[in-house]
Amino acid sequence: MRLFRLLKIAAVASRFGLDEMVLEHEPTGRLVRLSNALQFWRDLSTPRAERLRLALEALGPIFVKFGQVLSTRRDLMPPDIADELAKLQDRVPPFDSALALQEIEKAYGRPASEVFAEFDPVPVASASIAQVHFARLKEEDGHHEVAVKILRPNMLSVIEHDLALMDNFALLLEKLWADGKRLKPREVVAEFAKYLRDELDLMREAANASQLRRNFADSKLLIVPEVYWGWCTSTVMVMERMHGTPVSQTERLRAAGVDLKKLSAAGVEIFFTQVFRDGFFHADMHPGNIFVAPDGRYIALDFGIVGTLTDSDKNYLAQNFLAFFRRDYKRVAEAHIESGWAPRDTRVDEFEAAIRAVCEPIFDRPLKDISFGKVLLRLFQTSRRFHVEIQPQLVMLQKTLLNIEGLGRQLDPELDLWKTAKPFLERWMSEQVGWRGLVNSLGQELPQLARSLPQLPRLVHQALARPAAPDLQPQIERLIAAQNRQNFWLAVIAVLLAVLLGLRFV
């Protein structure tokens, strides 16, 4: 199977001239000329980035998803390729309904008719990993309307074959491409493989949805569907069916009386709340995964990809965001060096000037007049110049922020992302490092203190009752005196031996 797949990949690569994109880095140019001469029938007049996108679409959903991931790594990709890969859409025909019913029976050990009161065999959504059907639970189970997500059959074997081939191609790129080692293609493939394997376990996605729902349990901005755990397996996930309007259908939203300006600002607040309050954020927030409820709240769907941040990540990011908002570029440069992202010998003044040149033009302008994607791209280019290491845990954050930009433009072209986010970040920083932060920290430590305080008298008594440590000073002095006497007699013996040897040879 892998051999046939390899032959298909080779044929597609040849048809779209992907070999030329690799061989053009050979200094003499002979290999490119030879390859084009042997494949003289090809039309390579289309730009290389477009040919790469078309090739990935021809290779199927796994390669399409890989291209989508690559499009977020603008620190690795040339601008033209990153822009073109961003156009990739995960449009995949649904698999047969009979197969969906078979997967349900395999998961539950009984047919769908015995699990659900109703099950619609026609899928409402289909992607590369799974597809979704609407259903209704039985009367005794609550008779809830549900959405049933079913993993595509035999996905694991297909994915493992494609991932193995991608790794082989990445190895070739490292050997043949001048920039291969710097761009670390094998690490990119490994990163992609991790996220893809996570998506293959629908129990993990269900856990992500449950966590996000708990984080926004009383939110006036975001609704997350309830997960019905009794019907979830690694291949089937059942959750509450949500009713709303796709966020991309702005005319329907206006007709329904939704305030788009308020909605766009709410999207920014939801994003920063997830990142800085929870350190747990929905990392696939494209318009297809977001609906708007009749009451104007967002509805989040598809939780296969989430991002996480540690407390130190959150604190570092917040300081950098606030420094950007205050145009304190020196502080941004210093923070990069202090955190180890930039080398210790980096000149702060030069780094500060480079960051200022990228960021200064974006302030005091509405979102419609700037592209945050281009700003990120220039920042990445600046980072490469100063040998800044792009942190893996922030790749998803960068991608999500780009999605927020696109969503904001769609809902309110006048939205200023910075002005909307700044008050939130300042409030968050005050809660972390001000007096509120002290109160919060004490609140978190109180349970531990409550357990430790009753033991305090006993611990004090034990410490006082413990015999005093012996005074070792007299022993040390005796050892030093003994060592001095030993050294004296060794010196005397050495002198006597020297005298005796001298008399022997007289």
Token output for 13: 């690569």
Question: Could you tell me the end-to-end alpha-carbon distance of the chain, in angstroms, rounded to an integer?
Answer: 95
Give Rg (Cα) of the chain: 32
Q: How far is CA 145 from CA 26, 238, 294, 346, in A?
A: 59, 10, 17, 58
Counting Cα atoms < 13 Å in the Cβ hemisphere of 244 gives 27
What single-letter amino acid sits at 262? Answer: K
CA distance 254 to 247: 11
- What positions carry a catalytic annotation? 284
Contact predicate 402/373, CB 8 Å: yes
Q: Write out 147-211 in H/E/C secondary structure.
A: EEEEECCCHHHHHHHHHHHHHHHHHHHHHHCCCHHHHCHHHHHHHHHHHHHHHCCHHHHHHHHHH
Contact in structure between 104 and 150 (CB atoms under 8 Å): yes
3-class secondary-structure state, position 291: strand
Residue 103: which H helix or E strand, with range?
helix 97-108
